[in-house]
Structure 1
């Protein structure tokens, strides 16, 4: 029987795991709440590895700045309590197996490069719309991370030079899908401001109170894509995150991009709108991408498989 790989997707609220084969077929999944202390966090990861002694290797997707060569992670967001920590070394000592650790947005991009909607292209990006905005870049057919492993951190782009609060002037703060859903729910008097599905009922019905907020959000995404496209000139950009499952999201982002170009000759003449599509993979993206990152490292001789 073929031995599988253990893939782990660490998120701010949940840790997901799966057994995956060399072709990307997922056979077993599990999920547990993400702890809020370092000791509990490491204990859960350690136990997860110990519970799968027969796998070929361990691959991990994690939010933060990741040196994928060494496995050193500067944790961010809800996992900021971990500070800087070499997660690969920690898991290697337990598993006695090869371990790969990659940034979550980069893993989502790797999944699309391997088996998804960036496959076979020369350049592209994944833009994940959620609490903030995540990004991963593919240039010349390869994942581009930059010399400091920070390429694709598009949430840090400043898009309002005149805002008094520098944080609120960033893409991550101004282009939050979670904030958009909350604003729609509040404007429409919905009982649960976190209920994205109910909010999209109002959006898809073109309720003016919902649509105006949604269209403004898509315009901000389109402005972000114009800025990225002006620098990189990509073939395709994929929208990821939970809201990307709604067809109206990609449709309206395309529409807003076209409106921006129509409003300024330079945007029309100097910038080509990329092929904007929905990302193929949803909740499985980071699990698959972490495995592909490991397989690429094996191919490059980064470590020897057992």
Structure 2
């Protein structure tokens, strides 16, 4: 049975799993992402690969950044700036002796959902991954659309104001996790640094008024962003991923806000309300999509 080493490079941790060609996870783990320099990052990959040398057919990675998934070149690399301007495939050849591939993390998540998850059979749609920023992916004609420069779906940079030059006030600042925590911190007069998503949702699930109001305000921002995507893409379905998407209360409030807003504006706009669902694969999505990219896009 062929086995594959899949790796998901995150800003905090690097997750990895050994999978079959049907994405069955045989073994998985994680370790802290080196934040220092490229050499330390490569050394960590070498150490990981040595554990599985001779046991896997290929290494399939997902990572942040604008990436040419056909060549493994990183135009940008998100929080891990030391990979920018680097062909990672060339760098790992000296210690990885099997085929290597890499895909953008949000695009990999979308591939997983298209392959075996919530977006299976969808012709036109999008995946929105809520984290520190807002990752995304565009699906057109049932396939991942990367764009002319591999930047399609970089939703973090979506401007929130059209009445002045772009100043960095974007969707990530408003609707990334820290945007939500900022709304809540202002309502209760606490330091945002002392809060996290678990604290907020535990209080909201316990019925705290301010916590629920913060999530409602946050979701209204998500609704505006979703309408912006609808004008361009006309999605039939949108899947929401990221850690906080696992909270049933978030999806409940988001869908309620979508229903209320489309009822208010439906006679004035040409777009319709898409079905908005939860991504199926959670923390494993990026690795599953990275495997799909290697098996069925590079080697189809």
Task: Report the number of matched residues.
Answer: 297
Shift of 1:74: 2.5
Aligned to 2:12: 13
Shift of 1:206: 4.1
Q: Does 1:42 align with 2:42?
A: yes
Q: Is this contact kept in 1: 2:125–2:233, CA < 8 A?
A: no
| CA-to-aligned-CA distance 1:236-294 (integer Å, 9 cap, x gap) | 10110111111121221122222322333455x51111110011011111111100110
Q: Provide the rounded CA distance (Å) in 1 between the counterparts of 2:12 and 2:60.
A: 19
Q: Is this contact kept in 2: 1:8–1:15, CA < 8 A?
A: yes
Q: Provide the rounded CA distance (Å) in 2 between the counterparts of 1:256 and 1:160.
A: 21
Aligned to 1:255: 256
Secondary structure of residue in 2 paired with 1:61: strand
Q: Is this contact kept in 2: 1:185–1:193, CA < 8 A?
A: no
Aligned to 1:237: 238
TM-score when normalising by structure 1: 0.90
Shift of 1:196: 1.6
Can you give the 5+ residue segments of structure 2 that lack an aligned partner in the other structure?
A: none
Check 1:298–1:165 CA distance in 2 against 1; reply closer, same or farther (3 A cut).
closer
Shift of 1:298: 4.2
- Structure 1 range deviating more: 6-15 or 47-56: 47-56
Shift of 1:189: 6.5
Aligned to 2:118: 117
Q: Does 1:172 align with 2:172?
A: yes
TM-score when normalising by structure 2: 0.92
- Structure 1 range deviating more: 178-187 or 251-260: 178-187
Aligned to 2:66: 65
Q: Is this contact kept in 1: 2:240–2:278, CA < 8 A?
A: yes
Q: How does 1:77-156 map to 2 (within 5 A)?
A: 77-156=78-157
Q: Is this contact kept in 2: 1:49–1:91, CA < 8 A?
A: no
Secondary structure of residue in 1 paired with 2:80: helix
Q: Provide the rounded CA distance (Å) in 2 between the counterparts of 1:164 and 1:64.
A: 24
Q: Provide the rounded CA distance (Å) in 2 between the counterparts of 1:165 and 1:234.
A: 26
**RMSD value over aligned CA atoms?**
2.0
Q: Provide the rounded CA distance (Å) in 2 between the counterparts of 1:205 and 1:263.
A: 30
Q: Does 1:286 align with 2:286?
A: yes
Q: Does 1:159 align with 2:160?
A: yes
Secondary structure of residue in 1 paired with 2:139: strand
Can you give the 5+ residue segments of structure 1 that lack an aligned partner in the other structure?
A: 301-306
Aligned to 1:304: none
Q: Provide the rounded CA distance (Å) in 2 between the counterparts of 1:76 and 1:21.
A: 28
Secondary structure of residue in 2 paired with 1:44: helix
Shift of 1:154: 1.2
Secondary structure of residue in 2 paired with 1:51: helix
Q: Provide the rounded CA distance (Å) in 1 between the counterparts of 2:178 and 2:203.
A: 16
